[in-house]
Structure 1
Amino acid sequence: MSSKQTELAIHKLGIEFQNLDLSFHQMENAKAGDITSYWPGKENEEVLVCVFKGHEISEPFHRQDFFFINYAYRNSYDALSAKYDNLITIHENECYIGQPYSGYALRGNSEDEIVILGVLIKKDAFFREYLPVIYTDAELFRFFIDPQTNRFSDEFIHLSVPENHAIRTILELMAVEYADAQSDTQEILKSMLQTLLLEIARRYRLQKTATTQQTVSEQILAYMDDHSDVVTLKTIAAHFGYHPNYISALLHKETGRTFSEILLEKRMERAVLLMKNTSLSLEEISSMLGYSNHSNFYKAFKAYYGTTPREYRG
């Protein structure tokens, strides 16, 4: 793919951006002035690629009913979020990722042109198609699976991306594909989006590791969180280079609970998140949690919560 193709695609999508319906509407069952924008793409689209090009951005504080990944393709801009008082700068080559209904407003004013490359994803499509991609990072999984209308503390991800990273390349490919859409473009975009999310998950893990210092037990608990569907004492021992008996004793000393008790808690927490926020069947959820026998999931859930999964879901 040539740089000329990319620039032509970005220019075309920049023009088309002006015709997208990104108008704001009063939210139902919300306080006065709480406004939202709705899916601006076609009804048969699940993934939309758009480009903002300009010297000034000044949005009102609002929400939206879809996931978005905004990438600062050229120049920087600001994002206002978290109860109106958290203003962060999204520098060139950085991502700003938001949940459905998270509140934010973009700001920018520059003599040099600001270019933002955005990928919008329908909420239902995301839950149906892309959960397995981000399932192995517990924090990222919770961010994407638990969008709430009144949640401000962790409503966005600010991701630093090295220059010429694969994330930029994939976004350019998606822009070129969307700008010259064909009958199979949505299927191709879905495939590209899976790769993009994998790269985002990897970069997120690296960024998180670089900014946190954890004890051995904290590292083990985090590993269990990320791999709750397949983790065993043996896999933890192999990963960290300790004997399984040492892992078991350390966890009990630090948490007062056994390995099995901790793992059950993590699986049950994920079960509830999936049941509340997706339309996945109980059998699909059971498999995602690592239960090869669905009846074992039902028994574990009933023992943990005192009610069956079907009764819990209503």
Structure 2
Amino acid sequence: MDREAFLKILTPLDVHDTYRELYFQNPAAFAVPVRSWEEFCGRYNELEGEGKTKLPPVPPTPIAPVFSEEEYFPQEDWGEVSVIVNARYCPAFLHELEFIKIIYVFRGSCFFYIDGRWISMTEGNACIVAPGVEQTVFSCADEDIVLNLLIRRSTFAESFWELLESNDGGVIADFFWKMLYHKPGGEVLLFNSRPDMLLEESVMDLYEEALLQPVKSGLVMKSMMMAIFAYILRWKEKDVVWLRKKEKHREYPLAQYLLYMKEHIDEVSLASLAGNFYVSEGYLSRYFRRETGFTFSQLLQEMKMKRAAELLIKTECNIEKIVALIGYTDQSIFFRNFKAAYGMTPLVYRKKKRQAEFMYT
């Protein structure tokens, strides 16, 4: 899809007309973020005068303090990536997400609100929001086209290891690592960049696959999302702004620790990891808990389960081989942990995932 065709699809206001009419009648009511439709209506009536404008009893678009993955991703196996067009003139409703969001300004501009301040975003800018961050977006011009690219946190963790492993590090890569393993409360990264044609093409392709294709492919959508993240990773660090991090960027060793754990998954221990990086076991235990909210053992078990799931899907290895490759000596413990993580036995998981890949690719 070329840019001209894309703009023809997204230019009509449709359901956003209600918000537009309300905005031009009383723009001051939109100046301050709110947390509910009732709060917005109260502010609107207070500024305009009670009863002058009949406000809808319910908002034209969904409003909630927290949006879950179940609300934004369909149950089908391809429902791991999604695209939402930000509603123009929609009041700025503060909310948190359980998933990862990229805000991309395709045309025009918008305002991003976080921690009590408004940040202006213009065409070509992008903002990555980690789960658990209270924020909102507001755009107030007919020309504005702001896209929300959404991905499940678990999908990001499963699909983007390779992308992060192949990167040499830096501010952006460190942010992605934190987004994967940092404890809830997350951070936000803003890219004050000019339009990137390759990124823009990938965004249009993802929109077409996610919203226009009658038969969708989970593999294609994840590949497109990976391309978008890859383009972002190579952006210049001078254009990057940490919106919640005030201290100077410092080395972030968590990525090195996790990569070492993955490379030595069949034998790594807290003692061996500490020895390899010349730190004490006590320091390492405290570091993992502080940075991720999890213990070393919990992170290692999660890593082992993800590796087992990957081997079940991508190889013909039997269970005994997989158990050995990820460092388990007791199959019963492996089966118990795997079922706790995925809700089914390894063989059932392999069968279901392969059937799904056949249907949706």
The bucket for the TM-score relative to the shorter chain is 0.5 to 0.7
SS at match of 2:235: helix
Mapping of residues 188-267 of structure 1, within 5 Å: 188-203=220-235, 205=237, 207=239, 260-261=277-278
Residue 72 of structure 1 deviates from its aligned partner by 0.8
User: Is the alpha carbon distance of 1:283 and 1:66 closer, same or farther for their aligned partners in structure 2, counting shifts above 3 Å?
Assistant: closer
> When you count strand as a share of all residues, which structure comes out higher?
1
Q: Is the 8 A contact 1:138 1:226 kept in 2?
A: no
Runs ≥4 residues deviating over 3 A = 8-12, 14-18, 204-209, 221-231, 257-260, 262-266, 268-280, 292-295
Q: Is the 8 A contact 2:153 2:180 kept in 1?
A: no
Residue 91 of structure 2 aligns with an amino acid whose one-letter code is S
* Structure 2 CA distance for aligned equivalents of residues 284 and 164 of structure 1: 34
1:51 equivalent in alignment to 2:82:
no
Residue 261 of structure 1 aligns with an amino acid whose one-letter code is Y
SS at match of 1:158: strand
User: Is the alpha carbon distance of 1:207 and 1:3 closer, same or farther for their aligned partners in structure 2, counting shifts above 3 Å?
Assistant: closer
Mapping of residues 172-187 of structure 1, within 5 Å: 172-187=204-219
The aligned residue for residue 234 of structure 1 is none
Identity of aligned residues (%): 12
Q: Is the 8 A contact 2:177 2:255 kept in 1?
A: no
Find the partner of 1:116 among 133, 139, 146.
146
Residues 83-112 of structure 1, C-alpha deviation per residue, up to 9 Å, x if partnerless?
A: xx13211222111211222110222333x4
* Structure 1 CA distance for aligned equivalents of residues 62 and 240 of structure 2: 35
The aligned residue for residue 281 of structure 1 is 304
Residue 122 of structure 1 deviates from its aligned partner by 2.0
SS at match of 1:58: coil
* TM-score of the two chains, using structure 1 as the length reference: 0.60
Find the partner of 2:95 among 36, 53, 62.
62
Residue 213 of structure 1 deviates from its aligned partner by 9.0
Residue 119 of structure 1 deviates from its aligned partner by 1.0
Superposition RMSD in Å: 4.5
Structure 1: tracts of 5 or more residues without a match: 26-34, 232-256, 299-309
* Structure 2 CA distance for aligned equivalents of residues 277 and 88 of structure 1: 38
Residue 81 of structure 1 deviates from its aligned partner by 1.2
* Structure 2 CA distance for aligned equivalents of residues 259 and 195 of structure 1: 33
User: Is the alpha carbon distance of 1:281 and 1:8 closer, same or farther for their aligned partners in structure 2, counting shifts above 3 Å?
Assistant: farther
SS at match of 1:281: helix
The aligned residue for residue 133 of structure 2 is 102
Q: Is the 8 A contact 1:99 1:147 kept in 2?
A: no
Residue 294 of structure 1 deviates from its aligned partner by 5.4
User: Is the alpha carbon distance of 1:5 and 1:125 closer, same or farther for their aligned partners in structure 2, counting shifts above 3 Å?
Assistant: same
Q: Is the 8 A contact 2:107 2:123 kept in 1?
A: yes
* Structure 1 CA distance for aligned equivalents of residues 204 and 261 of structure 2: 34
User: Is the alpha carbon distance of 1:73 and 1:3 closer, same or farther for their aligned partners in structure 2, counting shifts above 3 Å?
Assistant: closer
User: Is the alpha carbon distance of 1:46 and 1:259 closer, same or farther for their aligned partners in structure 2, counting shifts above 3 Å?
Assistant: closer
User: Is the alpha carbon distance of 1:224 and 1:46 closer, same or farther for their aligned partners in structure 2, counting shifts above 3 Å?
Assistant: closer
Larger Rg: 2
Residue 68 of structure 1 deviates from its aligned partner by 0.9
Residue 130 of structure 2 aligns with an amino acid whose one-letter code is Q
Residue 23 of structure 1 aligns with an amino acid whose one-letter code is P
User: Is the alpha carbon distance of 1:194 and 1:147 closer, same or farther for their aligned partners in structure 2, counting shifts above 3 Å?
Assistant: farther
1:42 equivalent in alignment to 2:74:
yes
* Structure 1 CA distance for aligned equivalents of residues 213 and 296 of structure 2: 35
Residue 142 of structure 1 deviates from its aligned partner by 0.8
* Structure 1 CA distance for aligned equivalents of residues 3 and 127 of structure 2: 24
1:146 equivalent in alignment to 2:182:
yes
SS at match of 1:199: helix
Structure 2: tracts of 5 or more residues without a match: 18-58, 168-172, 242-247, 264-273, 311-323, 330-336, 342-361
User: Is the alpha carbon distance of 1:226 and 1:41 closer, same or farther for their aligned partners in structure 2, counting shifts above 3 Å?
Assistant: closer
* TM-score of the two chains, using structure 2 as the length reference: 0.53
